[in-house]
Amino acid sequence: MTRKSAWPLAAAFCLATALAGRAGAQQQQPYIPLISKGFQHQFWQAVKSGAEQAGKDYNVRITFEGPETEAMVDKQIDMLSSALAKHPAAIGFAALDSKAAIPLLKKAQAARIPVIAFDSGVDSDVPMTTATTDNKAAAALAADKMAQLVGDAGEVALIVHDQTSRTGIDRRDGFVERMKSAHPKVKVVSVQYGAGDHLKSTEIAKSMLQAYPNLKGIFGANEGSVAGVINAVRETHRKIVVIGYDSGKQQKDAIRDGLEAGAITQNPVGIGYKTVEAAVKSLKGEKLPKVIDTGFYWYDKTNIDDPKIAAVLYD
């Protein structure tokens, strides 16, 4: 064999060795799937980016999936079942229904697969921790802002994404309970559920505006909910106080335009990152707190461009 003809063989051998090494490294990486509540909002894309960054930092393999809408509890349960069938090292789970997944999570526990809840916890002690916003406290702040903006008296309403997830329950209760305890002259006249769908939430908001001619404000408890309120206010030309939750281009534009008074933002990238970080720590046997509080902020047109706020907003 000539020296010239040996070069392609040597190159092929090096390439094969490199690929084999990479495949071996992938096999050695712990696999941590994250089952989200959905994919339709930019919020979940921000959570995913945080999880993927942690995957790189901690050298673990991450997958991230969720049903098409946040009403698909059964589909989410199927996704959880499929993920567990792959025998992952650990699993992250954001429950659409705080009770429906418990039997499967108990199976994970029996198989010694650590469960890390994120965004929305479950009514069980199976998860080793929950990386989440203090949704009750955040919604209470939204109630205080609403009361201030409506003159601490009058009728207000809520559109919430659901009444089965911990986030839906806690944001509803945090807002309603704070109004009752601290702002007794502000009356919550309606609480409706739009499944986080902006079209459904638009119809609900329009119905509310028609049913309550003296309505002073509406709180939309997640990105899809408040998008519906924004649409309804634009279509009906009603002047009311709109307060939202999360971020997204439509909401940010509405705040800059003055149509929406302000919103609570979470730290979605931080939620994703802390979920994966907690999973890695659990695999090392490290003790975890029961809740990892990832924080929240109020933002409006006075501070939307503040670097600290801008860092936790997304389009």
- pLDDT tens digits, residue range 48-105? 999 999 999 999 999 999 999 888 999 999 999 999 999 999 999 999 999 999 999 9
User: Residue 114 domain-assigned?
Assistant: yes
Kindly compute the dihedral angle of the four CA atoms of residues 22, 24, 25, 28, in this order, to the nearest 10 degrees: 160
**Residues 119, 283, 81, CA angle at the centre, nearest 5°?**
55
Same domain for 139 and 92, yes or no, is no
User: Residue 308 domain-assigned?
Assistant: no
Q: Which of 137, 106, 111 is nearest to 122 (CA)?
A: 106
Q: Kindly indicate the confidence band of residue 169, based on its pLDDT and cuts at 50, 70 and 90.
A: very high
- Give yes or no for residue 7 having a pLDDT over 50: no
| Average pLDDT of span 217-221 | 98
Same domain for 83 and 102, yes or no, is yes
Same domain for 197 and 279, yes or no, is no
Q: Which of 97, 103, 38 is nearest to 65 (CA)?
A: 38
d(CA 303, CA 295): 17
- Residue 163 sits in a domain whose CATH number is 3.40.50.2300
Q: Could you give the percent of the chain with pLDDT greater than 90?
A: 86
Extended strands (E) in 66-214: 91-93, 115-118, 129-132, 154-160, 186-193
Q: What is the pLDDT of residue 70?
A: 87
Q: What is the pLDDT of residue 40?
A: 75
Q: Which domain holds residue 239?
A: 135-265
Same domain for 129 and 140, yes or no, is no
d(CA 48, CA 292): 17
Based on its alpha-carbon atoms, the radius of gyration of the chain, rounded to whole angstroms, reads 23
Sorted by sequence, the CB contacts under 8 Å of residue 262 that are 6+ apart come out as 145, 243, 244, 255, 298, 299, 300, 301
Tokens of 277: 């970080």
d(CA 229, CA 231): 5
Tally of domains in the chain: 2
CA 110 to centroid of chain Cα atoms: 27
Q: What is the SS3 assignment for 44?
A: helix
User: Residue 18 domain-assigned?
Assistant: no
Same domain for 123 and 168, yes or no, is no
| Average pLDDT of span 196-206 | 97
User: Residue 66 domain-assigned?
Assistant: yes
Q: What is the pLDDT of residue 27?
A: 55
Tokens of 5: 């003809």
Q: What is the DSSP letter of 30?
A: P
- Give yes or no for residue 201 having a pLDDT over 60: yes
